[in-house]
Amino acid sequence: MPNSKSNTVPTAARIEPVDKLTSSIESLSEENLSLLCELDRKGFLIGKDEILDSYKKRLNNILNDAAELKNNLALNADFNILGRINISESDRISEKLSIKAKSIVNATYAFEPFMADAFYAKKGLGFFIGGCAITFDSGLSVILLRNSFRNKARWLFYSAKELVAHELCHSVRAPLNDNPIEEFFAYSVSPSPLRRYLGNCFRTGYDALLLLAPIFLLMVITFLKVFLVSSLDTLFFWILIFIYPSFLLIRNHFTFSTFRKAKKILEKFIPYKRSACPILFRCSYDEISAISKLRNIKEFNSFIKDKSETLLRWRVIKARFLQKLI
């Protein structure tokens, strides 16, 4: 199959001003695939089973919240988020950093987010948290970086552009609500092979809790053995601390393996190999798993045909990346 230096998008007027985007949403229809593709390119992905009406409603809600955020930042020296984090217009990250982060996600997943509000948080982030994305009920996301990045490009093992790109992946892919492989896509923009491979080990806060709990329990048991009950056997607790890490690694291995198989299938059958990761980024984990099990071009074509006939999201995927396939 031939390679391509860029992912082809059907011809469409570029969406830039907010008022133009608003008017475009009002006239949006399922037949207007060029506009749907352009919205996808701007980071407005269609949800897992989302239909056009709910998609339009969500986009309007995002724009309304974005306008409200802009007004609040203009009127208030400090605007409060979540009751504990204050941001102001002066805390907004530089355009240079924003462009660098956008170029990373665009090269990896073929989107350049229209909504990419990111700020330095003076306080309120956890001690070990470099950044996070806060997604409001409307779907609008705001990215927060710890204040350490304001005057330096790196903090611990992370660069500012990597963290912004990481959180952009989360905010853009949020409509899919797809936890099993969410962190995998976000960590895939990292320059570190270790983070790219192990990033998806921790899918929820419970994973970290269940990893640390046996360690703290062992510390307590060891304290009791040393100072109170010298006959206490700690072997079981030493074994216990390795059980959950082993589970995380095994689960992560199978997830990573499923992704690699699906990627190979796509690279084998689609017109442009570079489109494989952008396509999978827009898939649910169940769909990625299904793609990984396809055995030949007939099954692949049947899968794409079925999905594109039943889901608006897949009609856009097909129009953007698979025009020459069927």
Please provide the distance, in angstroms rounded to a whole number, between the alpha carbons at the two ends of the chain: 15
Q: Is 17 exposed, middle or buried (0-12, 13-18, 19+ CB in 10 A)?
A: exposed
Which amino acid is present at 16?
E
Alpha-carbon distance of 138 to 114, in angstroms, equals: 16
| Backbone torsions φ then ψ of 135, nearest 5 degrees | -110, 120
Ranges of each domain in the chain:
18-219+226-321
Distance CA 211, CA 112 (A): 36
Among candidate residues 142, 141, 145, 161, the one with its CA nearest the CA of residue 153 = 161
- Residue 130 exposed, middle or buried by CB count within 10 Å (0-12, 13-18, 19+): buried
Question: 236-262: buried (b, 16+ CB within 10 Å) or exposed (e) per residue?
Answer: ebeebbeebeeebeeebeebbebbebb
Q: Quote the CA–CA distance of 35 and 130 in Å, as a whole number.
A: 35
**Most distant CA atoms of the chain, gap in Å:** 76
What is the amino acid identity at position 259?
F
Per-residue pLDDT of the chain (326 residues; tens, 9 = 90+): 333 333 333 333 344 456 667 777 888 888 889 999 999 999 999 999 999 999 999 999 998 888 888 888 888 767 777 777 888 888 898 889 999 999 999 999 999 988 778 898 877 676 678 888 888 888 888 899 888 888 888 877 888 899 999 999 999 999 999 989 999 999 999 999 998 988 888 888 788 888 888 888 888 888 887 777 777 787 888 888 899 999 999 999 999 999 999 999 999 999 888 999 999 999 999 999 999 999 999 999 999 999 999 999 999 999 999 976 55
User: Of 15, 11, 26, 33, whose CA–CA distance to 314 is shortest?
Assistant: 33
Tokens of 190: 């990292």
Is the separation of the CB atoms in 46 and 87 below 8 Å? no
- pTM, two decimal places: 0.84
d(CA 286, CA 265): 15
